[in-house]
Chain A
Amino acid sequence: MRPLTDDETKVFFEKLTKYIGRNIVHLIDRPDEPYCFRLQKDRVYYVSESIMRKTTAIGRQNLISLGVCFGKFTKTGKFRMHITALPSLAQYAKYKVWVKPNGEMPFLYGNHVVKAHIGRVTEDMPEHQGVVIFNMADVPLGFGVSARSTVDMRKVDPTGIAVFHQSDNGEYLREEDALF
């Protein structure tokens, strides 16, 4: 377990900004307790500083996970967000898409969100930005990248893709081995 290097921080924060913009500040400066990001075996964990300090007692080989895993660095140095980051992303997301009940399961099976399934969209969403996807009851389902801006979305036919799928709750079942 170690803090992120400057390069890693840059890559990681760039990615994170796509989803929550300047709200990253709120992730770190919390009213209750300062939180931090730590790297352990290529994975980035988001954890309170008090827990992080106590965790130093645990050997590197034996530590499996601490706090919430946000994602991992690939071998090529890119950062890949994991579904486990969803609660934090959903809390601070800049752009949101709500899908109708009939679009819930297709998305949870790993498909892109088509326009017909969209119930509501954040107004000023640009193209190719990180979006968090909710169902109509405001339960976060996953996240992705917007295929079109909100304005262009109106022109697309119902079967056109609105949001590219990146990660969804179904991965807890489908990719348990790869995720953890």
Chain B
Amino acid sequence: MGGRNNKRKQHLPLPIELEKATGKVTKAVYDKIKHDQVRDLKKQTAALKQAASGSGRKRPAPQSQPTPKKQKQAAPRKPAAAKPESEEEEEESEGEAIMADDGPDGGWDNAPLESDSEAAGDSDESLDEFDSDDEIVTQQPLSLLSDSEDEDEEQEEEDAGVESYDEYDTDGEESAVTFRDMEKRSRKLDAKRAEDAEMADMELQEQDQAVASEREVFALPSDEQVEAEKEAPLDLTQVQMRIQEIIRVLNNFGELRDPSRSRNEYMAQLHRDMCFYYGYNDFLMEKLLQLFTVSEAVEFFEANEVARPVTIRTNTLKTRRRDLAQALINRGVNLDPIGKWTKVGLTIFDSPVPVGATPEYMAGHYMIQAASSFLPVMALAPQENEKVLDMSAAPGGKTTYCAALMKNTGMMVANDANKEREKALVANIHRLGISNAIVCNYDGREFPKVMGGFDRVLLDAPCSGTGVISKDPSVKTGKGPEDFSMLTHLQKELILSAIDSANADSATGGVIVYSTCSVTVEEDEAVVQYALTKRPNVRLVETGLDFGRPGFTSFRGQSFHHSLALTRRFYPHAHNMDGFFVAKFKKISNKIQVGEKQIVPAGSGAKLKQKKKKD
């Protein structure tokens, strides 16, 4: 009962409110009427003006320029009034079109001048119809809502033009007129073309002058200035300008250089500026600049400032991509397939719900995984009933993808050296319903001793992360030469143990895939080259990835084995995925021929046979 009373109380003041409301409404109505009246007045005056300007536009060309502008301004000023106004405008434009039809000569007189005012959009091969169309095009902003009408008119005019051509064959008089007309027209066109060319020349000259003046303006800062900048650095826009200037000079060095300065000086300044602008340390900047041309390097750095799109991988053990996409779309997620190269990946553009906490995610229907980390697994191409090792597995994106490709058969060994990261790995394995996996915590270098004879080995080596700077910007400043020497050393040890863990005698496999999320040659090609020299029983094979750039076969005086062209590099600016490197090896034999001796590394498939022989 109390509730009801409350309701009544709430209802009590309603009539007063209503009255007020009605009062307001009446006032609003009154306002509206007044407003409409004013608007009508304005409309009439505007129509008058337009009519005046429309007729005025026919003859003196300079007037034609300001009028459309006025109309453009007028149109958005009263969008509400546009509806009734449009009728008038239609009439008006029709009238104009008729006028254009009536007096083609006047139109032609105007044509070149008008098209001049229209900037360079006009092409040289504009035919007669197009000239008459030009008028309508200029009118288009004026008649916002009567576009279709105009188009119809255009159509009619075009038809008329065609008719006149038809008549040209039969009717002598008509054709004579057309011929004369044509001559006149072509003369006009020639004149216009000449004028255009002149304008273009002028513009070019101006540009050249500007460039010349810029060239004079741009000079590399002297040593003193550089010193001074260290004390009081320039602001970012200035530095950016200078970077662009230097790149421009470097791209056309012969002509634009300051003869007293060497290329090295330009490069040094560019290096300093880029370090400052993008926030990299000297060492890394040098490494990356060596990798690309200067303009590509800038693209690379710019790409590193932008986050890559979120991508997910369908867990084919539990669902299909189409079903998953439908389920996510129903949650309002905006997604698309990643590309033609994968059948399980989806790109998430935006999502009203956190993609990492949907019921589908919790049920293990998908895994949030960078597009680049699909690649090594696709290269590895694990088969059913194989024994596969993932040497540095956490957080499990690649491991679970492998297991999904194997359809939960065979055996998947996921190893990681970091015990903390193993939690996420185990969680993901369980969430995605992988039942053929074992997870262990070893240093990867111990591996062939722990367990060997794998059909396939995936080594996603720990690396400097120069390919994933967009994810982890701390790489920019955090990695120095000592990190690189430490990491490359570790990578070389790991790749050897990975190769030794694989079994060359495997019926289906004997495959090793080496991948890093780094783009530096030291961590990629150099490591692969090292493996090839140390283990002559492996050779590189096609990765099976039909995109990406081939690896370097020579780099700054180092030359690598020619088969390194079979490896694949991926860049953030070129492929819109993290920087990545994939190399696929095939192990031919379990024995290594070193001089006369045959060494059989422990743990490979040949180990048992060797032992038996000894026994």
Contact = CB atoms under 8 A, between A and B. Distances in A.
A57 interface: yes
B426 A63 contact: no
B438 interface: yes
Contacts of B359: 104-105, 108, 135, 139, 141, 169
Nearest to B357: A173
Interface stretch (B14-22, B96-104, B196-204, B428-436): B428-436
A176 B363 contact: no
Interface string B354-376: 00110100111000000000000
B451 interface: yes
Contacts of A169: 359, 362-364, 431
B450 A57 contact: yes
Interface stretch (B77-85, B293-301, B439-447, B541-549): B439-447
A52 B31 CA distance: 85
Best-buried of B435, B436, B438, B450 by chain A (most CB within 10 Å): B438
Contacts of A46: 435
B74 to A, nearest CB: 53
Interface in B371-427: 387, 411, 419, 422-427
Contact of A172 (B362, B419, B436, B442): B362
Contacts of B441: 61-64
Interface stretch (A8-16, A66-74, A118-126, A153-161): A66-74
A64 B362 contact: no
B440 A64 contact: yes
Nearest to B319: A139
Contacts of B387: 54
Contacts of B438: 47, 51, 54-55, 58, 63, 65-67
B424 A51 contact: no
A177 interface: yes
A137 B426 CA distance: 27
Contact of A176 (B357, B364, B424, B435): B424
Contacts of A84: 430
Contacts of A69: 426, 430
Contacts of A67: 435-438
Contact of B439 (A64, A104, A140, A173): A64
Interface string A30-69: 0000000000000000111011001101110111111111
A58 B440 contact: yes
Interface residues of A, number: 36
A154 B436 CA distance: 42
A176 B442 contact: no
Contacts of B430: 65, 68-69, 84, 172, 180
A119 to B, nearest CB: 15
Interface residues of B, number: 29
Contact of B431 (A135, A172, A177): A172
Interface in A150-178: 169-170, 172-173, 176-177
A67 B357 CA distance: 25
A87 interface: yes
B493 to A, nearest CB: 18
A176 B424 CA distance: 7
Given A51-B411, A108-B359, A87 B433 contact: yes
B422 A64 contact: yes
A104 B450 CA distance: 45
A103 B475 CA distance: 45
A97 B439 CA distance: 33
Contacts of B411: 50-51, 54
Given A62-B441, A62-B442, A180-B427, A68 B435 contact: yes
Contact of B451 (A57, A68, A87, A139): A57
Contacts of A68: 430, 435
B362 A51 contact: no
Nearest to A46: B435
Nearest to A69: B430
Contacts of B423: 176-177, 180
Nearest to B360: A139
Contacts of B435: 46-48, 67-68, 87
Nearest to A32: B409
B363 A140 contact: yes
A140 B211 CA distance: 69
Contacts of A87: 433, 435
B451 A180 contact: no
A141 B451 contact: no
B436 A51 contact: yes
Given A63-B440, A67-B438, A139 B363 contact: yes
Interface of B: 356-357, 359, 362-364, 387, 411, 419, 422-427, 429-431, 433, 435-442, 450-451
Given A46-B435, A87-B433, 12 more contacts: A48-B436, A54-B387, A54-B438, A58-B438, A65-B426, A65-B438, A68-B435, A69-B430, A108-B362, A141-B359, A173-B357, A180-B427
8 contacts: A54-B438, A54-B451, A58-B442, A63-B441, A67-B435, A68-B435, A84-B430, A139-B359
